[in-house]
Structure 1
Amino acid sequence: MFLYMIDDKLTNKKKQLDSYRPLPEALLRNLDEWFRVELTYTSNALEGNTLTRRKTALVVEKGLTIGGKTLIEHLEATNHAHALDWVKEQIKCKPQTLCEKDILLIHDIILKGIDDSNAGHYSNVPVRISGSAVVLPNPHKVPELMEGFAEWLKDSQDFHPVELAAEAHYRLVTIHPFVDGNGRTARLLMNMILLMRGYPAAIIRKRDRLAYISALEKAQLGGSKDDYVKIIMKAVDRSLDIYLKAAQGETTSYEDDSKLLKIGDLAQQVGMRNSTIRHWTKQGLLEVAEITDTGYQLYAPEMIDRIKQIHILKEQRLTLHEIKDYIQGIR
């Protein structure tokens, strides 16, 4: 598998967090409320839901209706929040006790009122991932594959918690057992496993959508899982930092996706030409966080620091290929 990739840093941060437990009830409640909204917002945003973080909070916490948004988008928000509530109720159990019934129940909650005929049921028609070359299993094989998946979970005692959560997510989306809601169900399953093992939930940010999808597809097409595992590890690491800072009495600022930068804005902030930014992006030195409907490439603010790092490495006479290898090695 990929146990060798699980950084000791995650295990050590988990031990550090455990030293602060039990956390004050008010602090736990505040963290739970924030994660409930953030996990709902990000997981739905990855699938195309257009509710912003703030509007997701209004729907989930206040039960408000947002003008101009569809009923389905509202239901996706409330359903995910309810599914997460159910997941939290199971955290005293062990991952090895999870079964098909649990996965079907999560999916049933996710699609309740959206697609009741398919909610909580495996697909019986061929499904394709739009824009992907990945060939999904024949629907007739799905029950057998899911039975095998459940058996694998029962025999997973030797896995590191992050490894188990990441692999369970990967296996479920690769089986792709449902007509819709596979990604949301897989991320909830992943986070249920993490919570059961005392880790905070992993948030796959909206800005990481392209990298996340590309990494999954790369592995599903027979390539390395390394990029995918790094994304999950970084997500867990960010969540551990949030909990640790809260436990230590520090405040944490959460960056909004509205701060993503167009190529011209990024170039201006670092004093470079757009053409150089495009070239470095094409070479794999910079990562595009999002592409708008009109085709604009958007970059996360951390690419400013990445560019500064590239300049330092260039001064050390490293080639762009060597810089790319260096950057990918530390991501």
Structure 2
Amino acid sequence: MVDEQRVRHSEAEEAAVVDSDLERATREAANSLLQAERVRNCVLDALDGQPFKLRPSRILDLNRVAIDGLDAYAGNFRPAGIKIGESKHIPPEGHLVPEFVEELCDYVNENWEKRTAIHLASFVMWRLNWIHPFTDGNGRTSRATSYLVLCVKLGMLLPGSQSIPEQIVANRRPYYNALEGADRRHEALGSFPENIVEKMEELMSGMLAEQLRNTHQHANGAR
């Protein structure tokens, strides 16, 4: 039986720099906290009046923090092709990655005032996974970038004891289904129709509601 937590794990050329499973798990946990702090600081900078634009350099930095000490290409785009286990989607070749990431950033920046926070965050979540720009940490980087866009667009650090990225990690199957639904729609149409990330938007909306509900329950003394 395939482990559902690993079903879409990247299969890149060997670039790992940690052999021990325990050491890797420990490093991943520490990096996860650092990445969350990096997102928090980026949001606070934006709330403090610093102009926000989604740039490839910011995405690269979030990946570097996520897999620092775990992968030789931390903070760099993958140099070659990559496969996603148990997924029909074949990400673009390595030499096309910078162009696609730049296109993603342009979409977010150009639609910042036109589209909702949920749409922009959902698009980032799907498109970064579609590009799969890194040898490792693609899911972690896409979730962090998406959450950053959501918070900045909403103009707040979202409260809640279980954030959207944490909810995804706890139950990945709906997330995978939403990604694969957008993949199929994009493959059929070859463009970005308005409803391309409709399933992801529904998922993100529900998880946002759950995150805020947890805050409301905590405020009323619920445990």
Please tell me whether residue 79 in structure 1 is matched to residue 35 in structure 2. Answer: no
Alignment of 1:29-40 (within 5 A): none
- Provide the rounded CA distance (Å) in 1 between the counterparts of 2:84 and 2:25: 20
Shift of residue 154 of structure 1?
1.7
CA contact (8 A) 2:126 2:179 kept: yes
- Provide the rounded CA distance (Å) in 1 between the counterparts of 2:131 and 2:28: 22
TM-score by length of 2: 0.75
TM-score by length of 1: 0.52
**Which letter does structure 1 place at the counterpart of 2:221?**
E
Q: Which residue of 2 aligns with 1:37?
A: none
Please tell me whether residue 250 in structure 1 is matched to residue 221 in structure 2. Answer: yes
Q: Which residue of 1 aligns with 2:146?
A: 190
Alignment of 1:72-221 (within 5 A): 72-92=24-44, 93=46, 96-115=52-71, 117-155=72-110, 156-196=112-152, 197=154, 198=156, 199-200=158-159, 201-202=163-164, 203-206=166-169, 208-221=171-184
Residues 225 and 164 from structure 1, CA distance in 2 versus in 1: closer, same or farther, beyond 3 angstroms? closer
* Residues 255-277 of structure 1, C-alpha deviations (whole Å, 9 max, x = no match): xxxxxxxxxxxxxxxxxxxxxxx
- Provide the rounded CA distance (Å) in 2 between the counterparts of 1:221 and 1:139: 22
CA contact (8 A) 2:117 2:150 kept: yes
- Provide the rounded CA distance (Å) in 2 between the counterparts of 1:204 and 1:230: 14
- Provide the rounded CA distance (Å) in 1 between the counterparts of 2:36 and 2:5: 16
Shift of residue 96 of structure 1?
4.4
Q: Which residue of 2 aligns with 1:325?
A: none
Equivalences, count:
187
Residues 235 and 47 from structure 1, CA distance in 2 versus in 1: closer, same or farther, beyond 3 angstroms? farther
* Residues 128-155 of structure 1, C-alpha deviations (whole Å, 9 max, x = no match): 1011111211211111111111222221
**Which letter does structure 2 place at the counterpart of 1:237?**
A
**Which letter does structure 2 place at the counterpart of 1:235?**
M
**Which letter does structure 1 place at the counterpart of 2:137?**
G
Q: Which residue of 2 aligns with 1:231?
A: 203
CA contact (8 A) 1:169 1:190 kept: yes
Shift of residue 125 of structure 1?
1.0
User: Which structure has the greater CA radius of gyration?
Assistant: 1
Q: Which residue of 2 aligns with 1:70?
A: 22
CA contact (8 A) 1:91 1:192 kept: yes
Q: Which residue of 1 aligns with 2:12?
A: none
CA contact (8 A) 1:96 1:157 kept: no
CA contact (8 A) 1:103 1:185 kept: yes
Residues 152 and 96 from structure 1, CA distance in 2 versus in 1: closer, same or farther, beyond 3 angstroms? farther
* Residues 187-241 of structure 1, C-alpha deviations (whole Å, 9 max, x = no match): 0111112222224441434453222212211221227643332221111110011
Runs of 4+ in 1 over 4 A off after TM superposition: 45-48
- Provide the rounded CA distance (Å) in 2 between the counterparts of 1:132 and 1:101: 28
- Provide the rounded CA distance (Å) in 1 between the counterparts of 2:179 and 2:210: 20
SS at match of 2:127: helix
* Residues 277-331 of structure 1, C-alpha deviations (whole Å, 9 max, x = no match): xxxxxxxxxxxxxxxxxxxxxxxxxxxxxxxxxxxxxxxxxxxxxxxxxxxxxxx
Percent same amino acid among aligned pairs?
Answer: 24
Q: CA RMSD in A?
A: 2.3
